[in-house]
Structure 1
């Protein structure tokens, strides 16, 4: 099965958004706070028993925030399959793989497709 891969990743700290351009031509724009609320690490998910490969639908209704917790400090590649995000509050444990990030795309088209598949 074909999985789109990023062809470009940029962070805009002024607008607090991460933009990913995908190999299928789609562009995803993620508010920093969405990425932080959706952190896939065991600590943020409440332990290893709650580790799902899918985003929690509740993250899409969380309020936007501009706090140390949601200020992006750095982005690092994890091999060729993911990135990790380093936040101003020191948190840096989440590994956001490409599939997870694509499922997390907040655009109306992707949200509609995700809701239809559920």
Structure 2
């Protein structure tokens, strides 16, 4: 009898969801994912090739728009920047000159 009562107390006190319903659990998962993406993008920003003066607006954008800001930064850092550097090795993201991109070469099939 004592072990049954003890088991009921343990399960009741620390139930499988700790008193949270499914919506609250989903909300916590989303919050943790957004904070994780924000931290990842801020670390990526701190290691980026940009000058410190150009990092400040990106950081402001990340905090102002906590989902869209980091998503745009991560797209720029891991998709746009490497492809632009391979197309134009002399391109510098810190340059304040207006750069006119050369026309793209047609791909096979066009």
Please indicate, yes or no, whether the TM-score normalized by the shorter chain is above 0.5.
no
Q: Which has the higher helix share?
A: 2
Which one has the largest radius of gyration?
2
TM-score (norm 1): 0.22
Q: Which has the higher strand share?
A: 1
